[in-house]
Structure 1
Amino acid sequence: MQKLDDIKKIEKLDPEDMYHKIIHLPEHILNAYQNPQIHLPSSFGKLNPKKIKRIVICGMGGSAISADIAKAAFGNLIPVEVVKDYNIPFLNEETLVITISYSGNTEETLSCLRQAIEKTDFIAAITSGGTVKKLVDEKYCWLELPIGLPPRSAIGHLFFSLVKLLETFAIIPSQELVVKQIVADLIKKAGAISVNTPTEENIAKTAAIAIKGKIPIIYSSSPSLAPLAYRWKCQINENAKYPAFWHYFPEMNHNESEGWEAKNFGDRFIPIVLSRMNEEENYKKRIRAFKKIFGKIDVKYLEYFVEGDSLIEEIFSLIYLGDMISFYLAILQEVNPTTIEFINFLKKEISE
């Protein structure tokens, strides 16, 4: 029996059941969008959203990836800046500041929230509670998240709560049809990547096997898919306790591509290209050229293609696969995909 087909072994390594937290992504998305727990203060009706000229979204780690996706998806409608730090570089009264913290106690995000309170009336938050809730409840608009999930496995709740929030401020049009399509597409994909599907028929399991023993370097075919490559990297880091790196076309052609000229390193890395079948020719020609380098140095690579008509559909079509690959890689590594010992160690060290 293949290691990844041993259900009892998987259950033993996954006592907190990260598997079902990942595989239930379609349900999380639907619940977040259709049943949002929105808290509006009595003063909300006095705000004029037309005065909002830019958006700053503040968050860290698993809570911040939603901000990256939102910037890529909606940055053409209004300037969007993502802040993963203690300070917002520029802030005025025409700025909508959205703070995202699953726990509600992320110190960098709290720092940004306190700065925002001093500068603008346009403030919103997405959280399950904590200090963020205390600061915004009955004063500003906020969306309440369900408790009990690691932030990285709450992306369905986090991102689509952010979508509802942007709709509430009349920043973006309704995404109802997009959400329905995403959920339908992901449900179709679930069976093919589930633990019950044998390794030889399971694209996520075979990918994890190909990655094991090598360091993945994940490339997106264009800047718009960069949040997807970054998500894959972070999920492999946190779930599998495994190093991974990322970059995107065309920028990587101007620096990182030269790194592959190093001798005796080829068998230590595995490139993974995340792309569109109908990618713009400007990007396609660069990817084709880069693949020729892999041929010259005899490096095998993996390639996966997004699906969907909108950027959000595209990104979530491969987030699902990437999350499951990271889970199966954790099983191959014989580590618990939920625990984050080094992150918790750092938090403890910093707090002392």
Structure 2
Amino acid sequence: MAAAALGDRVGISLHVVRGPELPPDLRKGSVAVLSSYSGETWEVLRAYDTAGRRGATRVVFAAGGQLIDRAERDGVPTFRLPPGQPPRTAVGSAFGGLLGLVDAWLPTSNDGRITRAVGRARRRSSRFASSRGPAASLARAVGDRTPFIYAEAELLPIARRWRTDIEENAKRLAMFDGLPEAFHHAVVGWDALPRSEAARWGAILLRWSGTGRDLKRGAAYLERLARSRGAFARTVQLPGDDPIEYLLNGIVLGGYLSLFLAERSRAPPLRTDAIDRFKRRPRDVSASH
């Protein structure tokens, strides 16, 4: 998300890695930011060791766990995330911390942009939280459907975030895909959708003030196609003309959307028992052999 907020303003190469294998060009002189809320995520722990062996400068973001212990042992700088809460609720701290870390590498500071974006997002927050606001309205429209969330590259981190919040808070499946790539395959699936199944699915298309004309036209076609098959479809315009601002607004709007969906299905948003069971599973399996 920080990479999307900064775009090409950094003047350096930024890579997002979501697994244990690091890019082959990560070496001495590179900076590896290792983030795991619990500090126990196995793929991040492995990446931490790999980055150290390659001589990269490491920075750790975590609330505790082995990752913090190893960093303190090795003299690696740490950014402590607020403990005792679901990891997804620490997104603001992690996002702000990353922006602050990268700020030192920029030709001009982003401090003013960040302050302005946070102020505007904070003023909009009460509207997003309202039962008459856009998040509640979208939740009512989505209903019990499984949403497909579509977004261009600049908004793809928000689409991913919405998927995560809906699955963890509302305890229901959601999917996301990137534009314009989805125009070359999703239209086939929506076109073939039987009307008897249409009530199960929905399409949410994200855009912002910088969305180009071709993307708008393609998204409008996809929206009309989904509706023509009897499915729910809606374009959601994220407010803001600065990447940091619209990303913050997207985080807040999607978070409240997931909470309104959780309220609708009477799901406890803070509990993620399935994740707890999954994390216990490797130890249970190894213990049985």
Same fold (TM over 0.5): yes
Q: Deviations over 1:129-153 (max 9, x none)?
A: 2211222226222212221221101
For residue 82 of structure 1, give the secondary structure of its aligned residue in structure 2. Answer: coil
1:307 to 219, 234, 239: 239
Q: How many Å apart are 1:340 and its aligned residue?
A: 0.5
1:217 aligns with one of 148, 156, 166? 148
Identity %: 26
Once residues 82 and 272 of structure 2 are traced to their aligned partners in structure 1, the CA distance between those partners, rounded to angstroms, is 20
Mapped contact 1:216–1:271 kept (Cα < 8 A): yes
Corresponding residue of 1:156: 92
**Could you tell me which of 61, 66, 76 is aligned with 1:131?**
66
CA contact (8 A) 2:227 2:233 kept: no
- Is contact 2:148-2:204 (8 Å) kept? yes
Cα distance 1:262–1:83, how it changes in 2: closer, same or farther (>3 A)?
A: same
- Give how far 1:278 is off: 4.6
**Is the CA contact (8 Å cut-off) linking 2:209 and 2:240 kept in structure 1?**
no
Give the Cα separation in 1 of the matches to 2:84 and 2:268.
17
Aligned to 2:94, the other structure's residue is in SS state helix
Q: What amino acid does structure 1 have at the position aligned with 2:13?
A: P
Deviation at residue 286 of structure 1 after TM alignment? 1.1
Residues 1:250 and 2:184 aligned together: no
Alpha-carbon distance between aligned partners in 2 of 1:240 and 1:82, rounded to the nearest angstrom:
27
Q: Distance in 2 between matches of 1:75 and 1:340?
A: 33
| 1:308 CA displacement | 1.9
1:342 corresponds in structure 2 to: 274
The normalised TM-score by structure 1 is: 0.74
CA spacing shift, 1:212–1:300, aligned 2, 3 Å: closer
Farther off after superposition, 137-146 or 322-331: 137-146
- Alignment gaps of 5+ in structure 2: 285-289
CA contact (8 A) 1:216 1:269 kept: yes
Task: Map Cα deviations across residues 279-332 of structure 1 (whole Å, 9 max, x no partner).
Answer: 211212211222331343233312211222321211111211110010111111
Query: What one-letter code is carried by the residue in structure 1 that aligns with 2:43?
Result: E
More displaced 10-residue stretch of structure 1: 135-144 or 265-274 = 135-144
Q: Which of these residues, 193, 207, 212, is aligned with residue 280 of structure 1? A: 212
Q: What TM-score results when the alignment is normalised by the length of structure 2? A: 0.90
Q: In the alignment, residue 253 of structure 1 is paired with which amino acid?
A: F
Q: What RMSD in Å do the two structures reach over aligned CA positions?
A: 1.8
Kept in 2: contact 1:96–1:120 (CA 8 A)? no
Q: Secondary structure at the match of 1:148?
A: coil
1:228 and 1:85 map into 2 onto residues whose CA distance is: 19
How far apart are residue 255 of structure 1 and its match?
1.0
Does the 8 Å CA contact 1:143/1:165 hold for their aligned counterparts?
no
Q: Secondary structure at the match of 2:203?
A: strand
